[in-house]
Amino acid sequence: MRAYERLLNYVTVHTQSAEGTGSSPSTRRQWTLARMLEEELAGLGMKQVQVSPYCVVTAVLPATAGCEDVPALGFIAHMDTSPAFSGEHVRPVLHFHYDGGDVALPKEGRTLLVSDFPFLKNWKGRTLITADGSTLLGADDKAGIAEIMTLCEELIASGAPHGKICVGFTPDEEIGEGPDHFDVAAFGAQFGYTLDGDIEGGIEYENFNAAGARVEITGVSVHPGSAKDTMENAVLIGMELNAKLPPEAVPARTEGYHGFFHLDEFTGTTAAARMAYIIRDHDMAKFQEKKALLEQAVAETQAAHPKAKVVLHMRDSYYNMAGQLKDCMHLIENAKKAAELAEVPPVVEPIRGGTDGARLSFMGLPCPNLGTGGMNFHGPYECITVEGMDAVVKILHNIVALYANQ
């Protein structure tokens, strides 16, 4: 079975994670895909197939004869989809012989515009896969799962030499909790790769330092007719707070190594409001400065509105894995060689986000990130190609072979 065929099956399973549920996994619906993958892994002939009490799926493909001393490699992807956009009732659409132009999606009047997404021109002639416009697709990260599954199936069928292959599928990556209950020692890999990037050939070993922040504002609500010198409008207080942050330090105005504040949620009434931020920077010193700046903005806003209540809750999510990988650059070099052997240009760039691999690297499993072939994650314009997924599977085969032949 080709990787894209698996993807078409996986994306129909609703696995959206959710913030603040207090459970792990954060949503019970992720169990449905976990059990499917457990059954599929066992059917392929994988060994030690299990699902942990926290919905982490793991399996092992033992080394072939003569490769027992080859470093054990882990391949990891996540099952959940982003809470940012609906992942329920996903209906994938295949656009055969894509002409390289704009693509009208069947629902919601949305169009995938080449002017907005210039990479589409490079996909002319391929088979493009999108959702129908009403949901995200879920290639983030079900494409990664499909590619890992296909690698394992093909290795078993071909009998090609390989070291021990460890497979892991995690829940809740999209809310930063994927490795919370990942047992690195039991997993059994010496080195790992997450498949959670975008373009095929993508290789990422630098990522943001990240924190999540929540601001809760309690205002003073009275009748507007008698509000003078009494009312404290929580929504307006929140707007005032956000205005204290640098306007250029937002996702839409930054790229590369530049960090940002992202106001991801702002809800409320006169009486109470809630703001949710994500804070990102590759540089640790600048990351700490950004957190301090938000703390200062909250303190100044509280001082300006003593009758209101402005409370900040902030927690670090993950850190830049570059330092953890500096002694394991063979992972990057072999990934580059593997891409070149698959006739895919390697693209080494920093992640403007994070992956399970960032935290796993700090937990003792050096784990850079590879592209899956998908683009435009977390929204209705998400897309991928059949050929891109096939290329990723070839890259994975080449990585396995490079380690086996060392």
Q: How many CB atoms lie within 10 A of CB 65?
A: 8
Q: Can you read off the two tokens belonging to residue 293? A: 């700046």
CATH numbers and ranges of domains, the chain: 3-207+320-404 (3.40.630.10), 209-318 (3.30.70.360)
pLDDT tens for residues 265-288?
999 999 999 999 999 999 999 999
Kindly give, in sequence order, each residue whose CB lies less than 8 Å from that of residue 328, ignoring residues fewer than 6 positions away: 191, 366
Task: In whole angstroms, give the CA distance from residue 57 to residue 37.
Answer: 8
Residue 180 is a catalytic residue: no
Q: What is the pLDDT, as a whole number, of residue 363? A: 95
pLDDT tens for residues 82-103?
999 999 999 999 999 999 999 9
pLDDT tens for residues 99-147?
999 999 999 999 999 999 999 999 999 999 999 999 999 999 999 999 9
pLDDT tens for residues 302-315?
999 999 999 999 99
Of 237, 314, 231, give the one whose Cα is nearest residue 268: 237
User: What is 7-43 written as a DSSP string?
Assistant: HHHHTTS--B--TT--SSSSSTTHHHHHHHHHHHHHH
- Is pTM beyond 0.85 here? yes
Task: In whole angstroms, give the CA distance from residue 107 to residue 259.
Answer: 34
Backbone angles phi, psi at 256, to 5 degrees: 60, -125
Q: What is the pLDDT, as a whole number, of residue 373? A: 98
Kindly give, in sequence order, each residue whose CB lies less than 8 Å from that of residue 393, ignoring residues fewer than 6 positions away: 3, 147, 150, 151, 154
Task: In whole angstroms, give the CA distance from residue 386 to residue 132.
Answer: 17
Q: What is the pLDDT, as a whole number, of residue 20? A: 86
pLDDT tens for residues 4-16?
999 999 999 999 9
Q: How much is the average pLDDT of 28-50?
A: 98
37: left (phi over 0), alpha (psi -120 to 50) or beta: alpha
Q: Can you read off the two tokens belonging to residue 310? A: 């402005």
Does residue 245 carry a pLDDT above 80?
yes
Does residue 406 carry a pLDDT above 80?
no
pLDDT tens for residues 150-180?
999 999 999 999 999 999 999 999 998 999 9
pLDDT tens for residues 383-403?
999 999 999 999 999 999 999
Cis peptide before 25 (omega within 30 of 0): yes
Does residue 317 carry a pLDDT above 90?
no
Choose the catalytic residue: 80, 140, 174, 196: 80
Q: How much is the average pLDDT of 213-237?
A: 97
Four-residue CA torsion sign, 167, 176, 320, 390: positive
Residue 80 is a catalytic residue: yes
Residue pair 354/278 in contact by the 8 Å Cβ criterion: no
Task: In whole angstroms, give the CA distance from residue 14 to residue 173.
Answer: 15
Indicate the average pLDDT of the chain: 96
Choose the catalytic residue: 173, 174, 232, 281: 173
State percent of the chain over pLDDT 90. Answer: 95
3-state secondary structure of 98: coil
Task: In whole angstroms, give the CA distance from residue 394 to residue 392.
Answer: 5
Q: What is the pLDDT, as a whole number, of residue 158? A: 96
